[in-house]
Amino acid sequence: MAITAHKAVKEGSVMEGLFAMHCAAILIDPNHGKENKKVKDFIYSLSVTTDLKDMATKDSDGSFKQSVNYKKRFPISTNAPKTSFFKVNVLTGQQIKDRTAAWKKLRVAPSLPYFETIEQPNYPDFSSVNLKIRLKEKEVGTQYGRELQMLIDNEPAPREAKQQENFASIEKRVESMIKAKGATFFRNLVATKEKYLKNNKTDVMEWQVDADGVGGETSGGQVKQDITVRVWANGKRIFSDTINFSLKASSATFHSGGLNDGMDLLLNKMDLGIPPNVKSDINTMLDDLREGRARETGLTGYVDAAFKLILKNAKPTYTQSSSDAWWDLMEARLFGAKNKFHGSMQLVELNIDGKPAKKTGEVKSGVLEITPDHLHKLRYEHKVGIIAILVPTPNLETNVAGSPGDIRLMPVYPKGGEEGNSNKNFFKIRINYKSDKDKLTGIRGTVKPFKFMSDIGGKASIVWDNNYTKFTNKLY
């Protein structure tokens, strides 16, 4: 892979592919990834052999954008070197059919290899794992393929500024991911696998692990899953056993949207307690924009001014209807439209493990998770509500260009009321301000609103499944 210009490697995008490889390792290994070093070696043995392919879209310079790809079926052969890490017995479909008369009807292709796993005596199971990865080269390129191999081998070579730093950070994230045997994602994956291994039947499972870091962006936010694990058992796809993951690593943002949709949400769909006269002023500004009387400031000028008016004048209050609306919005933005995926869905944030505690030596896992079951429990069993609060920045009063503040959606507990620490919000809504760069001079202009962003709450927030037990005094 040639060294190309990258704005910045996105560690979250890199981890999408590595997480998919980890899922494949768990499915292949009869011991479900018990030996961490073997799993790590397996992941890196795949990530250095990715391919570059042109995409259908082009960059601003007219060249085709590229994707980093990996597509293989495991076992690759009866001598599969990439799966020898796990010492799995491999048979061809014909060898399976020839074993006993009862297996002649098994749904296996005679010429293809399959893993043989024996967890229940007298009931061996046979499986294959199809791994497909497609990621944006500009977001991950220096951490895959030949460049990654050079980093692993510590070869002297031209390096981008943060290439070595990214490599070290990603390696730590990978190690934290592999060690997280108590995480929900790991337990769900193993449970789904063992459902077939422990049913006192001989099954043929075809697993498909798909990481698509390109396709989801065309869904308008309806598709949130970055990695999907599907299973076909004895030739039939089992939709209910599909597992979907939305992955985060180095960014708190879990949703982004256009300026028009963002303003429509705040003005017309959510109750922020905007005074009627302020809403009337904002609507007048919008009419001026639509009728061509605000050409000088345009859409970005309208959004900037309107958002500042909201932050200065809105007075949100708690009502059950407004709380329900915020709950619905959060769940949709976290997990996407319910009709866009089968099976289960969860968000996984892959951070670096914490340092050992001084007294106990316990290491806090860097893996944080949000599941629909956790949010359902908070909302319906514990009756946790949500109220909006407005958090301005100094820019709001000084009128300096840049973010004037954000809207934070705070938990309201059945005991103790509203959360007092604004960093423990469920999520926040902000505007990402961005400046345009002149192509000839390279000089950047004034920062302007670019997109509306939704950022997940801080690591100590109740939004994370991991923190549930820390809030029991506010729930019961």
Tens of pLDDT, residues 197-227: 999 999 999 999 999 988 755 455 666 889 9
The residue type found at 33 is G
What was the pLDDT predicted at 336? 87
Distance CA 173, CA 150 (A): 19
Tell me the average pLDDT across 89-113.
94
Distances (CA, A) of 224 to 19, 328, 341: 16, 15, 9
**372, 338 Cβ separation under 8 angstroms:** no
7-16, 34-43, 94-103, 291-300: which has the minimum mean pLDDT? 7-16
What was the pLDDT predicted at 155? 80
Of 54-63, 120-129, 397-406, the range with the highest mean pLDDT is 120-129
b/e map of 437-467 (b: 16 or more CB within 10 Å)?
eeeeeeeeeebbbbbbbbbbbebebbbbbbb
Distances (CA, A) of 381 to 115, 186, 374, 375, 376: 43, 26, 10, 10, 7
Distance CA 431, CA 434 (A): 10
* Structure-model confidence comparison of residues 408 and 161, the more confident one: 408
Per residue in 300-336, pLDDT (tens digit) is: 999 999 999 999 999 999 999 999 999 999 999 999 8
In this prediction, residue 4 has a pLDDT band, given cuts at 50, 70 and 90, of very low
In this prediction, residue 440 has a pLDDT band, given cuts at 50, 70 and 90, of confident
In this prediction, residue 161 has a pLDDT band, given cuts at 50, 70 and 90, of low
DSSP states of 320-363: HHHHHHHHHHHHHHHH--GGG--SEEEEEEE-PPPPPPTTT---
What was the pLDDT predicted at 51? 94
Q: Is it the case that residue 273 has pLDDT exceeding 60?
A: yes
Distance CA 91, CA 77 (A): 9
* Domain ranges, ordered by start, for the chain: 11-250, 252-336+370-476
Per residue in 345-398, pLDDT (tens digit) is: 999 999 999 999 888 989 999 999 999 999 999 999 999 999 999 999 999 988
In this prediction, residue 80 has a pLDDT band, given cuts at 50, 70 and 90, of low
Percent of the chain residues topping a pLDDT of 90: 78
What was the pLDDT predicted at 208? 98
Q: What is the mean pLDDT of the chain?
A: 92
Q: Is it the case that residue 159 has pLDDT exceeding 90?
A: no
Q: Is it the case that residue 255 has pLDDT exceeding 50?
A: yes
Distance CA 444, CA 434 (A): 10
- What contacts 334, CB < 8 A, 6 or more positions away? 224, 246, 254, 255, 347, 370, 375, 456
What was the pLDDT predicted at 310? 98
Per residue in 445-475, pLDDT (tens digit) is: 889 999 999 999 999 999 999 999 999 999 9
Tell me the average pLDDT across 66-88.
84
Percent of the chain residues topping a pLDDT of 70: 95
Tell me the average pLDDT across 139-161.
85
**248, 185 Cβ separation under 8 angstroms:** no
Tell me the average pLDDT across 21-46.
96
Structure-token match 């995926």, residue found: 341
